[in-house]
Amino acid sequence: MTSRFRLAFLVFCLIFFSFFLSLSKGSTSISLYQLLFDSRGDFNTILWKLRLPRTLTAFVSGGLLALAGALMQLLLQNPLADPYVLGISGGAALFTLLMMLFGFSEYGLMGGAWAGSLLTIVIILLLARKHRWQTHTLLLSGIAMACGFSACISFILLMSPNASLHSMLFWLSGDLNDARFPWFSLIILIIGFVICLMLAPGLNILGRGEKEAQALGLATRKYRITLYLLSSLFTAQAVMLAGCIGFVGLIIPHLTRLLVGYDHRIMLPVSLFLGGSILTIADTFARSLFAPQQLPVGMMMAIIGVPIFIWLLQK
C-alpha cells in the first residue's frame, strides 16, 4: 500500500466517522441500522430536515476556514495568520449584526455578511495599493480594520435590546442551529478549491520566499492578490454560514503540514477534509454533550483547538 493511498484511506475514514457521529448523536440517538434502513417519519424528519443540513454546513464551513487559513499563512508568511487576521470576518460579522438588529430575514443577513466582507476587501486593497500590496501592508491594514470592527461590534452589543442580545452573542460564538443545505457555499468551495489546485505548483514556489519566487519568474504580485481574494471569499462565506469560529484556520494548516509536508497539491485537499471533519465533530459535541441544551460550536472548537495548538507548538 503506497503512502498516498494510505493517506487517502485515513482521510476517508475520518470523513465517514465525522458524518456518522454527527448524524447519529444528539438529543435523540440514531443507530447505523436506523440511519440506513429505518424509513419512519420521525427519523426521516430528524435526519433530512435537521441533522444532514447541519452536518453538511459544519463540514463546508470547516473546509472553507481551513483553506482560508492555509492560503493566509502562505500569503503573509506568518505561522500565526488565520482567516480573521485581515479583518474580513470582522466586517462580515459587523454588518450581519446590524442586519440582525434591524430585524432582517435570512437573505438580509446573507447580504449583510457579503457587503461587510466585500467592503473590507476594497478598503484594505486601497490602503495597501500605495505599497503595491506588500505582505506587511496587507497585514497591518487588516489588523487595524479588525480592531476597528471589534470596537464597533462591542458598541452594538452594548446598545442592543436584551431580547436580541442572546442570539447575537450566540451567533458571534458560532451558531449552526438554523443550518440549511449549503448548496451555494458548496459550489463556492468546489470552484475555489479547483482554482487552488491549479495554483498549487506556483504556491510551492511562493512558499520558498518572495524574493526566490521572483527570481524563478513567478508573478508574485498577481499570486498575492489572488490568494488574498480567495482567502477573503472563503472566510466571508464561512462567517455567513456559521458565525465567527476560531482555531480551524489556525491549527488545521499546521497539523496538515506536520502530517503530509509542504506540497500544496497534497496539503490543500487534506486541509479541506481535515478542517471539515474536525468542525463537524466539534459541532456534534456542542449539541450532544449537554442535550437538549446546545453550546456555541465556536466555544467547543476553542476547547478542542487549544490543546491541539499547544501540542503542535511542542512538536
Q: Give the DSSP per-residue string, the chain.
A: --HHHHHHHHHHHHHHHHHHHHHH-SSS---HHHHHH---HHHHIIIIIIIHHHHHHHHHHHHHHHHHHHHHHHHHT-TT--TTTTSHHHHHHHHHHHHHHTT--HHHHHHHHHHHHHHHHHHHHHHHHTTTT-HHHHHHHHHHHHHHHHHHHHHHHHHS-HHHHHHHHHHHT---TT----HHHHHHHHHHHHHHHHHHHHHHHHTT-HHHHHHTT--HHHHHHHHHHHHHHHHHHHHHHH----SHHHHHHHHHHHHH-S-HHHHHHHHHHHHHHHHHHHHHHHHHTTTTS---HHHHHHHHHHHHHHHHHH-
Question: What is the residue extent of each domain of the chain?
Answer: 3-314
pTM of the entire predicted model? 0.89
* In the predicted structure, residue 239 carries a pLDDT above the cut 80: yes
In this structure, what C-alpha cell is assigned to residue 206?
511562493
Residue with cell 509542504: 262
Burial class (CB in 10 A: 0-12, 13-18, 19+), 122: exposed
Above 60 in pLDDT, residue 182? yes
User: In the predicted model, is pLDDT for residue 20 greater than 90?
Assistant: no
Mean pLDDT (the chain) is 84
**Are the C-beta atoms of residues 266 and 197 closer than 8 Å to each other?**
no
Phi, psi values for residue 289, rounded to 5°: -65, -40
Who wins on pLDDT, 91 or 36?
A: 91
For 157, the grid coordinates are 452589543
Joined grid coordinates for residue 184 = 451555494
Share of the chain above pLDDT 70, in %: 92
Say yes or no to pLDDT of 286 above 60.
yes
pLDDT score of 32 more than 70 = no
**71 contacts 227 by C-beta, under 8 angstroms:** yes
Lowest mean pLDDT among 94-98, 267-271, 309-313: 309-313
CA 220 vs. chain centroid, Å, equals 25
Q: What percent of the chain has pLDDT over 90?
A: 23
Q: For domain 3-314, is the CATH number 1.10.3470.10?
A: yes
Q: Is 43's pLDDT higher than 80?
A: no
Q: Which residues contact 293 (CB under 8 A, 6 or more apart)?
A: none
Average pLDDT, integer, range 248-254: 91
CA angle 262, 268, 273 (to 5 degrees): 125
**What's the CA gap between 112 and 237, in Å, rounded?**
11
Distance, CA of 289 to CA of 297 (rounded, Å): 12
